[in-house]
Amino acid sequence: MFQNKRVLIAIGGGIAAYKICEVVSTLFKIGVEIKVILTNSAQKFITPLTLATLSRHPAYTDENFWQSTHFRPLHIDLGEWADLIVIAPLTANTLAKLAYGMADNLLTNTVLASTCPVLLAPAMNTDMWEQQVVQRNWEQLLTDNRFHGMCTGSGLLACDRVGAGRMAEPPEIITYVQSLLHTTGKRDLLGKRVLISAGGTREYLDPVRFIGNPSTGKMGLALAQAALHRGASVTLVHAPASWDVPLGVQAIPVVSADQMRASMVEYLPSADIIVMSAAVADVKPREYSQHKLPKKSLPQALPLEPVPDIVGELARLKQSHQQLIGFAAQTGDIVTPALEKLHSKNLDAIIANPIDEPDSGFGSDHNRAIFLDQQGQRIEIPPCSKLEMAHRIFDFLENK
């Protein structure tokens, strides 16, 4: 997916610069060609030699600004070379320059000499980040569709302040880079509200025992990331999971099918696209014990009752302008039961994916599937990462 993709990483002066080593190393390992620019301030925190070693290319500084390559200015060559520019950490100083179109170093000149998407990962002290002038510059810069801004995190900063301004972590930056390389920066979901369910619900018999399934929610997480990176406002209703919800996504944690149903119905009216990727339990114990049952007291035959049909209820409640997409995780023949669910539940589309194939299904970082819709489309999605599958799903929906 990333062969022949070219990313230029521009590093500003801040302690978060050390985190970019992981970004450069990981992107190189997945096949992305990387070049790096460091500002003079960035070199106080990390050396060009380190980045050159990780990227397998020279790391450029302002000393190279007037260096010509094939008799062309370096900033022109770099700007035309890049499929994507990542500026991380983005300092208040560089932000102000970009907001006003200033170009007084290699980084800012290269941005002005390019036309590709630019991903911004700001990092600064909380008081600096919250200054009215900084927020004004940030909002002004993001009015240009070239620029994609990452939310800052909150926590203990290097200045010992606890608050907003922490740079997004390397895995989040890497995922956003992958998304932008797929979409080439388009925001086809801008102004849309996307509601996603994720993970496997748990139906408890007592405080320690439950009926569940192996779903980790990774597919729902990837859908949330993809929708966010394409400009959507995203609400993620998720069962217990071991991953962190991406910055910028509204998270609604739930446990049981009843709780998931209540949240999905609550947020349904404001959604434009609803993706039901959660693995909801089919049944639950008829009775719940407030205290752990002794092993000898466990029933030989466990009385069960069905849980709510969430996707069926959403289909009955949805409006004509809304799109409802379901998932069907199956073994063996995945198409026949998926088509039956598509029509019986009156879904707009369904994703049939095998859980008995290598490196796909529950718990895997990869998946494969067949996209089916009410118009009779049948599109196979070959083995790929779950993030790529999420983007392919939104690609299909865009073309419907």
Please provide residue 140's backbone torsions phi and psi, each rounded to the nearest 5 degrees. -65, -45
Written as one string, the DSSP assignment of 366-379 is EEEEEEEETT--EE
pLDDT at 140 over 70: yes
Predicted confidence at residue 398, as pLDDT, reads 84
Residue 347 exposed, middle or buried by CB count within 10 Å (0-12, 13-18, 19+): buried
Query: Quick one: tokens of 93?
Result: 């100083």
Instruction: Single out the residue in 183, 212, 238 at which a domain terminates.
Output: 183
Instruction: Single out the residue in 183, 202, 229 at which a domain terminates.
Output: 183
Per-residue pLDDT tens for 226-243? Answer: 999 999 999 999 999 999
Q: Would 188 be classed as within a structural domain?
A: no
Residues 390 and 291 in one domain: yes
Per-residue pLDDT tens for 205-220? Answer: 999 999 999 999 999 9
Instruction: Single out the residue in 183, 212, 244 at which a domain terminates.
Output: 183
Q: Would 1 be classed as within a structural domain?
A: no
Which CATH number belongs to the domain containing residue 267 in this structure? 3.40.50.10300
Are 35 and 64 within 8 A, CB to CB? no
- Mean pLDDT computed over 353-372: 90
Which CATH number belongs to the domain containing residue 162 in this structure? 3.40.50.1950
20 annotated binding-site participant: no
Q: Would 214 be classed as within a structural domain?
A: yes
Residues 265 and 167 in one domain: no
341 annotated binding-site participant: yes
**CA end-to-end distance (rounded Å), the chain:** 24
Question: Known catalytic residues?
Answer: 159
Residues 160 and 271 in one domain: no
Cα–Cα distance measured from residue 175 to residue 240, given in angstroms and rounded to the nearest whole number: 22
Predicted confidence at residue 68, as pLDDT, reads 63
188 annotated binding-site participant: no
Residues 206 and 141 in one domain: no
Are 142 and 135 within 8 A, CB to CB? no
Predicted confidence at residue 69, as pLDDT, reads 63
Residues 106 and 243 in one domain: no
Quickly state the pLDDT bin for 180 (edges 50, 70, 90).
Answer: very high
Residues 211 and 337 in one domain: yes
Q: How far is residue 385 CA from its own chain's centroid?
A: 12
Residues 100 and 135 in one domain: yes
Predicted confidence at residue 138, as pLDDT, reads 97
19 annotated binding-site participant: no
> Coil, strand, or helix at residue 354?
strand
Query: Quick one: tokens of 202?
Result: 């748990």
Predicted confidence at residue 310, as pLDDT, reads 96
111 annotated binding-site participant: no
Residues 234 and 311 in one domain: yes
Per-residue pLDDT tens for 287-312? Answer: 999 999 999 989 889 999 999 999 99
Residues 23 and 167 in one domain: yes
Are 28 and 6 within 8 A, CB to CB? no
pLDDT at 164 over 90: no
> Around 285, how many Cα atoms within 13 Å sit in the side-chain half-sphere?
18
Residues 51 and 102 in one domain: yes
pLDDT at 159 over 90: no
104 annotated binding-site participant: no
Residues 86 and 177 in one domain: yes
292 annotated binding-site participant: yes
Per-residue pLDDT tens for 18-66? Answer: 999 999 999 999 999 999 999 999 999 999 999 999 999 999 999 998 7
62 annotated binding-site participant: no
92-99 and 132-142 are packed helices; what angle lies between their axes, rounded to 10 degrees? 50
Structural domain tally of the chain? 2
Residues 138 and 264 in one domain: no
Domain that holds residue 151: 6-183
Quickly state the pLDDT bin for 153 (edges 50, 70, 90).
Answer: confident
Tell me which residue of 206, 209, 170, 211 sits closest to 27, measured CA to CA.
Answer: 170
Q: Would 237 be classed as within a structural domain?
A: yes
Per-residue pLDDT tens for 67-86? Answer: 766 678 999 999 999 999 99
Predicted confidence at residue 161, as pLDDT, reads 81
Burial 70-96 (b: 16+ CB within 10 A, else e): eeebbbebbbebbbbbbbbbbbbebbb
Q: Would 383 be classed as within a structural domain?
A: yes
Cα–Cα distance measured from residue 350 to residue 195, given in angstroms and rounded to the nearest whole number: 15
Residue 16 exposed, middle or buried by CB count within 10 Å (0-12, 13-18, 19+): buried
Beta strands in 193-306 (DSSP E): 193-198, 203-206, 209-211, 233-238, 250-253, 273-276, 283-285, 304-306
218 annotated binding-site participant: no
